Structures are given as structure tokens and as C-alpha cells.
Amino acid sequence: MARKKRFSLSTTQIILLSFLITILLGSLLLSLPASSANGHAVPYIDALFTATTSTCVTGLVTLPTVSTWSVFGQIVILILIQIGGLGIITIMSGLMLLLKRKMGISDRLLIQDAFNLNTMSGLASFIRNVILGTFIIEAVGAFLYMLVFVPEFGARGIWISIFNSVSAFCNAGIDIIAENSLCNYSTHFLVNIVTSALIILGGLGFIVWWDVLSVLKTRSAKNRKIFRHLSLHSKIAISSTLLLILGGAILIFIFEYSNPKTIGDMPLFDKIQVSLFQSVTTRTAGFASVPQENLTNASSVVSVFLMLIGGSPVGTAGGMKTVTIAVLFCSAFSTIRNKNNPSLFGRSISEASVKKAVAVAITFVFICSSSIVLLAAASNAPALDVIYESVSATATVGLSRNITAGLNIFSKIIIIITMYFGRVGPISLAVALGSKNESQNLISEPTEELSIG
């Protein structure tokens, strides 16, 4: 008798399910009376929304975090943020290393898919470095925050500092300071610089960290040409991050310069740092130092584009990712210039990378546009607010033009689904839902030229 085919999940489907299970478990914990500050259980839809925004490190909230949740509830939220930032697969792999269990091939495949890596060599060391590096950076960030929050809040400032550091590094944008996010610290230099540094480090991606450290170790201290010896991935991630932050800050500075509701009445230095912070936080972080609904239309549009792009791959940020956008632009310019292969920094970009970038962008745009249409139909919010909310949810940013708390139950469900799809990754979603691997099909269809443009 033929043996029955055993049901099995692909590695990508396991990743999708791990996030879903984490969200559901988190929502059950947050729906307990012990999680509420007043001892009365919050509505389950709000517990589910909070668990989703925490695990997906988004930051959109229907209930103010600082006043709604007890210490227990805040601990649950922080654990969900840490799991969402690192990924459940990373946490599980770290526990295996701690227990000195050997990784099998299936475990290595899970890690490879979770981090979108091209090789399975050195994965144990990679996971160990990711977890250790994360905790070191978050500890340093918490210590620097304590210099501000302990004198202001006393012993509670320690917990606030730890929470904020983890949330900032994981690009979650959830805080337990006040109901208006970081608006009370919009011109506080230390809070701005620490938060921005944590956001950028988390958004650059783990691959870039180790590449930079590896080059620094191997290059002579007298040799300052570090950038030249980085991988193409790191060069694109670093240069595009700097370009987007500076370009976004300049545009926001110009558009908000005379706006009395944001930076219009501030001194020049404060105008600059608030503009820089707005540019950084839109890269999927979600902390607000000025009310987003007070931004001019031009600044809101700039912020939408920055949110769409997001951070870099294999990090804590969301969005379409800097490398994806760079590859698309490079491919487009190469086509316009009639070049056979797109290239950047003297290196050719593979056809597989271009195809993957196209797939990610199209899937991301489909999720985002679907969310915009559905949210517009389910709510009575202005069009710009709906677009801002949906883009923020898809790119797991967490910035809102102050409409999240007023969403009806249908709108909340739409944003919950959007945040989930946005976090697990458009390409992972496409692969997981794909019923068949086309590469296994040995019969190719006939080719025919099309008229494009």
C-alpha cells in the first residue's frame, strides 16, 4: 500500500503562522482584566488591535497605551514588540542556542527565509550576534533615556526608558510616556538623538551591521576607505537611508517653516531637529514629535512617500525597503539608457533581484491600495487621513492623523489585517499563498513581444 503523503507547511507558511499565533496569544492576554489599568477587561477587538500593532511593530493604537494598560499589560506589549522586531523564528533559534541544541536543516531553512538570506552558512553565529547586538543597543538606549526620564518620573522612569528603547529599536513607535507620543519632547535634543539613533540602527538591518563591523576589523585603522569595501547591499542601504533622511528633512523643513501649528514659531535649531526627526520617524518608526494632523498637505505627502519606502531589509523596519526601491529605479534607468544589465556602485544587479523587487513592490502596492479603498468605504474620514492611515499600517509605521481611536469595528478589522500583511512581508505572503513553484515546470510558453508605454 502506498504511503500517504504527509501534510507539511513551507518555511514561509510557518513564519506567517508564527506571527498569527503570537498575535492571537497576545490578544488573549491583553483581554484579561489584569492587563487593564482599571481592572476591567478592554473590548476584545481593541486587545486584538493592540496585540497586532505590537507584534507587527506598527504603533497605531485605538487606546492610549500609557493610561489603558496595567504594568502587566505593558509587559505583554513590550514582549510582543521584542518578538515582532526580532521575529519569532529568531527568538526560537536563540532559545535553541541557549539550550545548546543543534540546529537541523529545517531550522536553518526557517532562519534563512525569516531573514531573507542567500546562504545557510554561519546561521548560528548570525542569530547569536543579532540577539546580542540587539540587547546591547537597547541597553545603551535605555541608559541614555534614563538620564532624562528618571529625574522626571523617578523610579518609573527606568521602566519608561526600557520600554521606549525597545520600542524605538524595533521601530514600533509605542510609548508609555504620554498620550501625545513624544510631542512634549519635540525639541529635547537628547531624546531626539537617542530615539533617532535607535530607529536608524534597527532600520538599517542586521546584515549591514555585521558587514560594517567585518570591514572595520579587516581594514587598517589608517585606511579610511571603509565604504568602498562594503557589500553592494550595505552600500545601497546606507546611502539610500542617508539620502532619504536628509532629503525628507529638507522638504519638511521647507513646507513647515512658516506653519505655526508645527515648527513655525520655533527657533532655527529646533526647526531643523524637528524636521529631521519627522523624516526619521516616518521610516517606519511611528513616534510623533508633532501632531501629524497639523502638518501641511505637502509635508503629509512627503511623509507618505517616506513611509512607503520604509527601512532596509533584514532589520526591524517595514515598508517596501530601500534596497527594493533602489533596484527598481536602477532597472528603470538602465532600460531608458538601453543598458543590458542594471548596475550600482560598479556592480551588476542580478535578474533575480530585479524580479523579486518588482514582486515585492506590486504586492505591497496591492495590499496598500486595497486597504485604502476598504478603509475609505468603511469610515467617514477625509481622503488624506485614510491614505495616511492605510500607508502607515501597510508599512508598519504607526503614524496617524488622529483617526485611529475613532475607527469603527469594520475599520479596525481592516487595519488589523493590513498591519499583519504589511509585517509578514509582501514577498513572503506571495510565496506562502502560491500553490505551485513555476520553476519546476519544464515546459515554457511561447514568447511574444508587447507594446509597453
Q: How confident is the model at residue 411, as a pLDDT?
A: 96
pTM of the model: 0.88
Q: Quick check: is 436 in a domain?
A: no
Per the structure, the complete domain to which residue 184 belongs is given by 11-115+123-217+228-430
Q: Is there a domain that residue 446 lies in?
A: no
DSSP-assigned states of every residue in 349-407: PPHHHHHHHHHHHHHHHHHHHHHHHHHHHH----HHHHHHHHHHHHTT----SS-GGG-
Average pLDDT over residues 181-199: 95
pLDDT digits (tens, 9 = 90+) for 5-51: 455 666 667 778 888 999 999 999 999 999 999 999 999 999 999 99
Q: Which residues have CB under 8 Å from 218's CB, separation 6+?
A: 229
What pLDDT sits at residue 186?
A: 94
What's residue 436's pLDDT?
A: 46
Look at residue 240 in the predicted model and tell me its pLDDT: 93
Angle formed by the axes of helices 383-394 and 409-424, to 10°? 40
- Grid cell 526619521 — which residue? 280
What are the tens digits of pLDDT across the range 67-114? Answer: 999 999 999 999 999 998 887 667 766 666 666 666 666 666 656 655
Question: Is 449 a domain residue?
Answer: no
Is residue 435 assigned to a domain?
no
State the average pLDDT for the chain: 86
414 vs 19, higher pLDDT: 414
pLDDT band for 289, please (50, 70, 90 cuts): very high
Close Cβ partners of 326 (under 8 Å, ≥ 6 residues apart): 236, 240, 344
Identity of the amino acid at 291:
P
pLDDT attached to residue 1: 45
Give per-residue pLDDT as tens, 208-245. 888 888 888 776 545 567 788 888 888 999 999 999 99
Cell of 47: 486587545
3 is a domain residue: no
Tell me the percentage of the chain whose pLDDT exceeds 70. 83
Cell of 396: 508598519
Mean pLDDT of 193-221: 84
| Span 109-120, average pLDDT | 59
In angstroms, the CA 198 to CA 173 distance is 11
More confident position, 71 or 125: 71
Cα separation, 370 vs 366, whole angstroms: 6
- H-helix or E-strand containing 19? helix 11-30
Indicate whether 137 belongs to any domain: yes
**Is the pLDDT at 384 greater than 90, yes or no?**
yes
Buried b (16+ CB within 10 A) or exposed e, 382-402: eeebbbbbbbbbbbbbbbbbb
**CA 338 to CA 332: how far, in whole Å?**
10
Residues 84/166, Cβ–Cβ less than 8 Å: no
Cell of 350: 542580478
Based on its alpha-carbon atoms, the radius of gyration of the chain, rounded to whole angstroms, reads 22
Element (H, E) at 344: strand 343-344
Q: Residue 222 domain-assigned?
A: no
The confidence score (pLDDT) of residue 438 equals: 47
Query: What is the predicted pLDDT for the residue at 345?
Result: 86
Are 165 and 148 in contact, with CB atoms under 8 Å apart? no
Structural domain count, the chain:
1
pLDDT digits (tens, 9 = 90+) for 57-67: 999 999 999 99
Contact (Cβ atoms closer than 8 angstroms) between residue 413 and residue 49? no
Q: How far, in Å, CA of 16 to CA of 423, rounded?
A: 10
CA distances from 218 to 26, 85, 160 (A): 44, 30, 39
How far is it, in rounded angstroms, from Cα 358 to Cα 351? 11
**Residue 266: inside a domain, yes or no?**
yes
HSE-CB at 54 with a 13 A cutoff on CA atoms is: 32
Q: Residue 297: is it exposed, middle or buried by C-beta count within 10 angstroms (0-12/13-18/19+)?
A: exposed
Q: How far apart are the first and last CA of the chain?
A: 57
pLDDT tens, position by position, 143-180: 999 999 999 999 999 999 999 999 999 999 999 999 88
